[in-house]
Chains A and B, each alone.
Chain A
Amino acid sequence: MSVSRDDFSIAFRSALLQRGGAQKFSVLSLIFLALIIFFLDVYGFTLVKTARSFLNDVVYRVTYLASAPTRLLPDVNKGIASHFNLKKENEELRKVIERYKSLDLNLEYISNENKNLKKVLDAEDVQSVSNIVLAKVLVDRNSPFLKSIIINKGSREGIIKGMPVTQNKYLVGRIVETNYLSSRVLLINDLNSRIPVTFDEKSTQAILTGGGTREPTLSYLPEDYQFVEDLTVFASGKDGIFTAGTPIGKTKESGEVKLFVDPNQLSFVTVNLIKPSKEVF
């Protein structure tokens, strides 16, 4: 009996403390180190935050480069066609830029008009929404737990936590982490995403809840609410984060919302530089 206990303790100690060959560090020392790093990061010490921000920027760039072969592989089969794809993509991007330019002007006009109308109504001044940043998706890792993307614009461009992210004016998510050169966008289908929305003629209010699945669901609806298919769901803006009236998707009879933008197919997004009126995260 005592021999068996000795065996156990020897094997246990050896598994934790053994070093040699490629095992330059003992498992125990690394477990302690990982625990220290974890708690420093979780409790958000300034030094760790800065270090993490720097680390994020470096790792995201390396990830982007490391993922290049997987992005390029499908194009190899297409051969010369990829060249034309690039040309086409360039043309499309030019069109997108032109569209955003016109949208910018249009927004400025609407924003001025809105300000004047607010003055007439003796209301408070509203924030300008004319600033948008076009960003490229650096990393789109399809995690089973977190639905997020990394974009190539960060605090250098004035991006802060909570800013809404759209594609073709459709809501995609919001910024949850900013680094100097990159940011993380939490997609609306993530389990942690909750968006106040409005839809139908009665302007029914609800919360769009991400479930980690492709389509988020509507919750906190009025009692005995019967779902009607094909109603457009808009952000209500009640959280002070998302712009009211931003389209999100169409309702389904099951209570799910079919998003206008497929979260798995994002390559370019726009960050709306609206300072959220509420502290986010």
Chain B
Amino acid sequence: MAKKNIISKLFASGPLFLLYYLSISEVDTNLEKLIEVFSLNLQIIIIYFWIIKRPSLMGTGHIFFAGLINDVVMGFPLGISSLSYLLICFVGNYVRNKSVNTTIASDWFTFFIALLFANLLFFSLLNNFSEVAISYTKIGYNTFFTLFLFPVFWLLFNLYQKSFIGSQDA
């Protein structure tokens, strides 16, 4: 029984582990070597999905900390990724409070709003308060691919949730 409990806890901490791992490791979801324009912000998808589906698995403190780590590794001003992630978290919380049952289509639409707010905040802060210049084309591609691939990851995470964590929604 205790062993089963540990295993279920391990599976439950999978999304958080993935979030931390993507923030701290060299692993990136940026396939520039294959397709020059392809880049994806998987962290945002992870946060949004799990905040909507199982907020108990994605603590806000962890999200904040993962953002700080991401800033250090990427070389951005400290706190900027945290802000962007927390904004995603806020929209996710709001959508969860307002909706009784969510579908892939409704999640996709609300994710678009969350992504728009988060990227707007991220790049306007970077543009106005930092010396780091960023290509708007790259931002566009990144936003597009993140939005475009959201349903794919939604299905994958949903499958993971149903198989290993349990289908109980928040």
Contact = CB atoms under 8 A, between A and B. Distances in A.
Interface in A58-94: 59-60, 62-63, 66-67, 70-71
B138 A146 contact: no
B62 to A, nearest CB: 8
Interface in A8-26: 10-12, 14-16, 18, 21-26
A33 B135 CA distance: 28
Given A63-B73, A67-B26, A142-B30, A30 B57 contact: no
Nearest to A11: B97
A177 B78 CA distance: 14
Contacts of B55: 21-23
B138 A70 contact: no
Contacts, number: 160
Contact of B28 (A24, A141, A191, A192): A141
Contacts of B165: none
A34 B83 contact: yes
B4 interface: no
A192 B132 contact: yes
A281 B131 CA distance: 9
Contacts of A62: 24
A141 B26 contact: yes
A67 B25 CA distance: 5
Q: Per DSSP, are chain B's interface residues mostly helix, strand or loop, or mixed?
A: helix
A56 interface: yes
Helix, strand, loop or mixed for chain A's interface? helix
Contact of B59 (A22, A142, A213): A22
Nearest to B58: A22
A213 B33 CA distance: 10
Nearest to A264: B33
Given A23-B55, A264-B32, 9 more contacts: A15-B91, A27-B86, A34-B80, A38-B79, A38-B129, A48-B78, A71-B26, A141-B26, A146-B76
**Which 5 residue pairs across A and B have the least CB separation, nearest first?**
A144-B39, A38-B79, A15-B93, A37-B79, A67-B26
Interface of B: 21, 24-28, 30, 32-33, 36, 39, 55-64, 67-69, 72-80, 82-83, 86-87, 89-91, 93-94, 96-98, 125, 129-135, 138-139, 141-142
